[in-house]
Every structure is written in structure tokens, then in C-alpha cells.
A = this chain, B = another copy of it.
Amino acid sequence: MDEIKINPWEVSGNFDDKVYTKIVNDFGAKLIDDKLLGRLGGLTHGLHPFLEDKTFFAHRDLDLLLDAFENGEEFYLYTGRGPSGDMHLGHLMPFLFTKWLQDKFGVHLVIQLTDDEKYLVKDLSEGQISKFTYSNVVDILSLGFQPANTHIIIDSIHAKTLYNNAIKVARHLTASTVKGVFGLTDSDNVGKFFFTSMQSVPAFLVSVMKKKNVRCLIPYAIDQDDHFKIARDILPKIGFYKPASIISKFLPSLAGNSKMSASDKSSAIYLSDDAKTVRHKIVKYAFSGGRDTADEQRKYGANPDVDFSFNTYKLLESDKKKVQKIYSDYRSGKMLSGEMKELAVSEINGFLERVRANRAAVEEKFADYLFDEENPF
């Protein structure tokens, strides 16, 4: 555990279930137990693969949020993205999960693009960040989000509303707290000290706009927990609900590491990768749960749970029976690693084509997706 480092700007270490459990306990969140999972599955008529395999494994007040929902209270979803590079499959998957939640509960979704944060913490120009911001939004929306219930907040575009509300949070947030929680020091810039206030705003913005308290559920990866721990401390002090959250582990990278890296283009699959590139990357780099030889694979079978190709296939294939059969065949050794890889290649390429086909329509309707401060829902 000594080498584990985890905050919104730095993640390092080897993450296994024991580590994740310890982190969640240290952070004061709760594991999603079978009872809560069953309850959620009952409301959503089945579970998303990310819930089944415990990629989304922890929560804060998800039980309270479901209580409220069952009592007829509305809620909305809020998630985000820091636009400091192109998006790869590992970045897009959590948005697919969020879309699943949105569809199942029939609720609104706010997506925040923290371009100001990236400007403050990365050595990138305004121009570079602005390019990434636009292309990231288009990538995300091309997953099939609808303008009617999806609301994009871009910090630089919505800065007026964000800043005017962020100071309400900032007034209650000392430098000391920010240092303790994020590990900032006096050498960090004052924008970083202030920034978490900006990221907290979408968690109560709809309540401000509607002039009544509306609950918020935030799906995020564990490295963002610091931000929302602070939001949960302060929001009740200024008259709002604590946001609830559903928290994921880091997705394994193509090569099986704990987090897909955005810095090495060969370590991940990008939306811009053509079919041939995708096949090359999967065949060459994708971490396999299969055996070293075809003979051994036939004899002992694979471990699909750690297999990048199988896991990606599972996320993209909506026919659960098909997935089940592939799992058994691969598990038993009836199916070889190479075949699993080819199946994943075909599934991923189909998915990327569908997403890319949506881009033009999304770009045309871009303005319709922007959070409308006058009429948020």
C-alpha cells in the first residue's frame, strides 16, 4: 500500500481488490453490497456489466437516493471529463454506463468539461485545450445522448454561473482543507486551490436554477472522490443536499495495467483509429486471459474476467445470451485467444463506426446540448 497515490491529478500504484477496499474505507465511502445491488437491479430490470463485475464498486448515499426515488422524488445525474487529450475507449466506457443509468431511470444528465482545470494543471495552451474540449464533447455525445435530457457544461462557456456559485462553496473552504484533501502545497497555483469549488457547482446548480432542492447522483472514478468529499461537506452548509455518488475502479488498459494511459497512443484504442489499427492493437497489445498455447487453452480454458478483449466485447454487446455463451466457450477452452481477439476487434470496430457515424449530427446540434441556464430541465 505504500506506493499507492491517488488524487485527481496523480494516480500511481498497483490496484487490486484489497487496495480498493482499503481506499474506500479510508475515504469514508461504502462498498456496494449484494443487497444494494439487488435493489438497484430491481429498479433497472437487470444490471449493467460494470455493476456485475464490480467496476462500479462503491458509493455514497446511493441507498438514500434510491429511497427518495422510490418515494417519487426526482434526481439528476452529473458526471464530467477533464479535456486534456483525445478520448480512448477507456474514457468512453464510463459514459456508456452513465447513459445506461440515464436511460433506466429516465433522468437528466449534466456533463461538465473542466477546461479551466486542465489549463491550471497542465502545460497546455488555451488553443489546445479548446480543441480537446470540443472534440471530447462530440465524442461523448456521439455515444447516443439525446439533447432533450443531456446538458453539457463547459467551464469556460458557463463560467459566469459556475463562478458565481463556486464562491458560495469557496467561502466555506479553507486552504488548509484543500491541502489536506488534495495534498496541495504553497507552491501550487491559486487556481488549483480554488478549482474544486468550480467542480462542485453542477452538484447543486439544478437546485439553484429550479429554486428547490433536487438530488444529484454522480458516477465517477475513485480518483475524483476528493472533489466530491469536499462538496458533500459544504453543500449542506449552503442549503443543498449532499450529492450521492457511484464510484468506479480504474479500467484496465489494453495491456492490462490499472489505468489506460492517454500519453502513449499505442496503449489504447482511440475513436480515430481505423479498423486495421484497432485489429493491430488488439492482436499485438491486448492483455489476454488465455493460455500461452492453443493446446493449453483447449485443455485448461481462459480466464475471461481479466481478458481485455472479452471485457470490452461484454460491454459493447447488448445481447446477454451471446455474451454468456462466449464466456462459457472461452472459459472452457472451446474458444481460443485469437478467436476472442477477432470477435473483440469486430465488436469494437462496429461500435467505433456507429459512434463516428453520429458525429456529424452531434456537431450540427451542438448548441442544443449546452446547459441552458435559463431553462435547465
Known contacts A160-B160, A193-B194; is-contact A175 B186 (Cβ 8 Å): yes
A187 / chain B contacts, CB cutoff of 8 Å: 174-176
Q: Judging by beta carbons under 8 Å apart, are B193 and A190 in contact?
A: yes
Q: Judging by beta carbons under 8 Å apart, are B179 and A120 in contact?
A: no
A157 / chain B contacts, CB cutoff of 8 Å: 160
Distance A156 CA – B120 CA, assembled complex (angstroms): 22
Stretch touching chain B among A32-40, A162-170, A244-252, A349-357: A162-170
Q: Judging by beta carbons under 8 Å apart, are B171 and A189 in contact?
A: yes
Distance A43 CA – B351 CA, assembled complex (angstroms): 71
Q: Judging by beta carbons under 8 Å apart, are B190 and A194 in contact?
A: yes
Interface residues of A in 70-115 (CB under 8 A from B): none
Residue of B nearest to A158 (CB): B160
Residue of B nearest to A119 (CB): B167
Known contacts A178-B190, A190-B193, A191-B197; is-contact A164 B156 (Cβ 8 Å): yes
Q: Judging by beta carbons under 8 Å apart, are B175 and A188 in contact?
A: yes
Partner of A191, one of B120, B179, B194: B194
A11 at the interface (CB under 8 A from B): no
Interface of A is mostly: helix
The winner among A158, A175, A185 for most chain B CB atoms within 10 A is: A175
Q: Judging by beta carbons under 8 Å apart, are A175 and B156 in contact?
A: no
Known contacts A156-B164, A163-B116; is-contact A171 B188 (Cβ 8 Å): no
Residue of B nearest to A162 (CB): B163
A29 at the interface (CB under 8 A from B): no
The number of times this chain is found in the oligomer is 2
Known contacts A120-B167, A164-B156; is-contact A173 B197 (Cβ 8 Å): no
A159 at the interface (CB under 8 A from B): yes
Interface residues of A in 176-202 (CB under 8 A from B): 176, 178-179, 184-191, 193-194, 196-197
A189 / chain B contacts, CB cutoff of 8 Å: 170-175
Shortest Cβ distance from residue A173 to the other chain B in the assembled complex, whole angstroms: 5
Per-position contact with B for A313-354: 1 when CB-CB < 8 Å, else 0? 000000000000000000000000000000000000000000
Q: Judging by beta carbons under 8 Å apart, are B170 and A120 in contact?
A: yes
Interface residues of A in 121-180 (CB under 8 A from B): 156-160, 162-164, 167, 170-176, 178-179
Shortest Cβ distance from residue A169 to the other chain B in the assembled complex, whole angstroms: 9
Q: Judging by beta carbons under 8 Å apart, are B163 and A188 in contact?
A: no
A196 / chain B contacts, CB cutoff of 8 Å: 190
17 A-B pairs besides A158-B160, A160-B163, A174-B186 with CB distance below 8 A are: A116-B163, A116-B167, A159-B159, A170-B194, A171-B189, A173-B189, A173-B190, A174-B189, A175-B185, A175-B190, A175-B193, A176-B186, A176-B187, A178-B190, A179-B186, A191-B197, A194-B194
Residues in A lying within 8 Å of B, measured CB to CB: 116, 119-120, 156-160, 162-164, 167, 170-176, 178-179, 184-191, 193-194, 196-197
Contacts A/B (CB < 8 Å), 26 sampled:
A120-B167, A120-B170, A156-B164, A158-B160, A159-B159, A159-B164, A160-B163, A167-B191, A170-B189, A173-B189, A173-B191, A174-B187, A174-B189, A174-B190, A175-B175, A175-B185, A175-B186, A175-B187, A175-B188, A175-B193, A176-B187, A179-B186, A190-B190, A190-B196, A190-B197, A194-B194
